[in-house]
Each structure stands twice: as C-alpha cells, then as structure tokens.
Amino acid sequence: MSPNDTHKSANAQWGGRFTSGPSEVMERINASIGFDQRFFAHDIAGSRAHARMLVAQGILSDEDGQAIEDGLDKISQEIESGGFDFSAALEDIHMNIESRLRELVGDAAGRLHTARSRNDQVATDFRLWVRDEIDAIDAQLQGLQAALIEKADAHAGTIMPGFTHLQTAQPVTFGHHLLAYVEMFGRDRGRLADARARLNESPLGAGALAGTSFPIDREATAASLGFDRPMANSLDAVSDRDFALEFLSTTAICATHVSRFAEELVVWCSHGFGFISLSDAYTTGSSMMPQKRNPDAAELSRAKTGRVYGALIGLLTVMKGLPLAYSKDMQEDKEPVFDAADSLSLALAATAGMVTDMTAVPENMMAAAGKGHSTATDLADWLVRVAGVPFRDAHGITGAVVALADKKGVTLAELSLAEMQGVDERISAEVFDVLTVEASVASRTSFGGTAPDNVRAAVAAARSLFLTPARSE
C-alpha cells in the first residue's frame, strides 16, 4: 500500500470532512492497534451480540446477519492462528476487524455498525476484558491461598518469633504467620468481586454519547454478553473509566500484599535469619560471588508493585480533567491496565511457586524465637493473672526483670527465682511455667490467636471459606 493509499484508508474512517490524510506522527499517536488488539475476542463477541440483536429487531436482514456471523468466525480463526494482518493505518481493533469483515462479506459489514459507535464499542470491550482479568486473578489468588493454607497446616506448631518494628515481640507459629496472608488475599478477592459486580453493566447501544434513534434492544445485548443490565445513561456509558480505576485500585492493594510477603521471603532467606530456604527454581547465583543464592523471584515480585501503582496514578491523571463525554485521552486507559494486570499476574504466579517451593528451617526459627525476651509479656500477664498485680504495675516489674536478665546476659527463664523475687517478692516458682516460648505460644488460645490448636482450626476454616467451589463462583 502506498503512502497516499494509507492516508486515504485512514481518512475514510473519519468521513468526507477531511481533505488530506494524517501525517506519520498523527497516524502513530492516533493508532491503538499495537495494544488494543488484545480486545479481539471481546470485540468479536460484542459484534456478534449486536448483530443478533439487529436481526431480532428487524434492523438487519437474516441474510446479512448470517454473513456477519460467518465472517466473524473466519476473522476469529485468523487472529487465533496468527494469520491476521493488523494495520496501524486502520487505527484500532474495531476498524481492523470491520475492514477485514468488509473484505469477506461486503456491504453487510458496514451495516453491522448501525446503532453503535466505536465509543460504546470500546467501552464494552474494555469491560469484558477487565471482567475476564478479574476472574483470572481471583483464580490465581485462590491458588496462592491454597498453597499458603497447606504450608500453614504443616507448620501449625512450628514456633518462630513474631515481630513489631522488625524487633522480636512475642513468639508465634509459622502457620499462624502464613495464615495472616491468607486473610489479606481473601480481602483482595472480595474487593475484586465487588469491582466485578459494579462493572457488570453494558455500555453497548449507548452510541457515541446520546443513544440511537433505531429501535434497539439493549437488554438483549447485555444479557447475551453476560452483563447484569445495560448502563442507564448513555453519556456515562461511554465517558467513564471508573471500572478500570477500581480494578487498578484493587490490584494495587493486592500488589502491596504481594510485596510485603515478598519482603518477608527476602528477609527469611538471609543468613541473618535463615528461617526458610528456596531452591534453584526461584533463586539465582551471583556472577562474581559463587557462594550467593539470591531470592530474585521474591525481589522482582516486590518490584512489580511499582508498576501497578504507576498504572493507577497514570489513569487517575488521564481522567481527572475530562469533560463529558468521550475524549481521545481515554485511548491512554488501556496500556496501563494491561501492564498492571500482567505484572500482578506474574507476581502472583511467582509467589505461589515460592510458597510451594520454600522449606522451613524450624531450628533457626525456634532459636530466634527465644531471643529478645519474647516471653516478657507472658511474665506481665502472669503477674496480673496469678499475683493480682495491676497491669501497669506488672509492666514496670517485668521491665525491671528484663533489665536484670540483660545485665546478666541470660534469658528470662534462666534467671533464678531468688533473682526475680529480688525485683518483686510476689513472683513464685509457678512463673517458670509461662516463660518458655512453647508455653507462651500454647497459651494464646483467644480467637484469632497463635496457639497451635487455634491454627489448625483456622486452617480448616480457611479451607472452607476460601477454597470451596461456592467461594469462587
């Protein structure tokens, strides 16, 4: 095709008002086919639904309707097999498909566009695509939860230090720690489900911005595409992208949880902790230091979060100053959403793989759990519960006992009874029953606590809540 032919082809899409074709720069900035071809299946599905509705309403003949169906079948096969020639001169996925359809079926292809605009077409495609991505990410999150639950069950009684400010606080179990992320990812799934429910309205039939004078049936096309209802306002239908923003918001929160867990994997793998090990499947070596095993999969999962955040801020910025209805600015809505979905999906796959792959090192966890006077709170609780000391006073007494242990370079359990009674005479020999990390963990039986029996019950509850078919429907 010559440059002039290219200009004529592009010009034809805009109608007879324009007497010359766009410059190369204009063609490049205006074209979206380089990325929106990902919509091909959704665009074809929307065209099928629209064509069938036009036939049912007597707007399109049965013959034209069947020709369009057959042509769309052919185009779908060509794209899936890699035999479709996408053209930047045709701007977008809609015109690429329509142009090929015209080659295949003639004038019937032009009649397909009756009572619709590329504005409602792209809004429909985009909602269908985001809906599919939500379903795919939900399935990934469920798989990640399953991996975490299995690992938590295996380590319901494996003791590790619990931290605040990354300082040893109180002993917990490894299973309890992993189940915290099961809950976080469960809320992510809930946010995705909420976003899905809100986006599941059909823009198709809204036209360019004002609806159409043709007697279309928007309820029929909405039902055909699996939407709950058509959108109620034609201006809103073509001009808002809050569904994409909500999707990005939920993926950003989810990516935060992925990043936090990835950070823990990085820390736990370090020689300073040594709580877990990862195999060669999820680590790399150093080009200079042969002893290194770097947790690159965790680090890259952590880094993907920045891309997701950037996508959200980018689209918020695009949308913030747009008057109703459609503006070409909204062509910039797709690439960041595609990138965010791809980035999160890859990070989730890597994270689920690392959870399955990682091997806990219980002896290192136990050794660390006993450091930093992690049972100090148990001493304070014992003073309240057994000796009847007000908690604020018990807190001060415990602080003095901790200071004594620090001075002597021993743990609380290694202090003698006489040494502790030198701080407060109400301390009795019974206190030694609560000063071990095992006793501390076993005592945390309140709902949501870290006691091993609690963790096992929480594992069963999580399986029922998150992994049953009803949760994912």
- 111 backbone dihedrals φ, ψ, rounded to 5°: -70, -20
- 78: which 2 tokens? 């060509």
- Cα distances from 245 to residues 3, 193, 330, 441, in angstroms, run 38, 14, 12, 43
Q: What is the DSSP letter of 323?
A: P
Tell me 284's DSSP state. Answer: B
Indicate the SS3 state at residue 163: strand
DSSP state letters, 117-161: -HHHHHHHHHHHHHHHHHHHHHHHHHHHHHHHHHHHHHTTT-EEE
Burial class (CB in 10 A: 0-12, 13-18, 19+), 78: middle
CA 411 – CA 399 distance, rounded (Å): 13
DSSP code of residue 213: S
Burial class, 386, CB count within 10 angstroms (exposed 0-12 / middle 13-18 / buried 19+): middle
Alpha-carbon distance 278 to 350, whole Å?
A: 12
User: What is the C-alpha separation between 47 and 72, in angstroms, rounded?
Assistant: 8
DSSP assignment of 448-472 equals T---HHHHHHHHHHHHHHHSSHHHH
CA distance 76 to 86: 13
Neighbours of 81 (CB within 10 A): 8
d(CA 219, CA 59): 16
Q: What residues are annotated to the active site?
A: 165, 286
Pure H helices in 155-288: 174-199, 218-224, 234-239, 242-269
Q: Is the dihedral of CA 206, 211, 212, 218 positive or negative?
A: positive
Q: Is 158 exposed, middle or buried (0-12, 13-18, 19+ CB in 10 A)?
A: buried
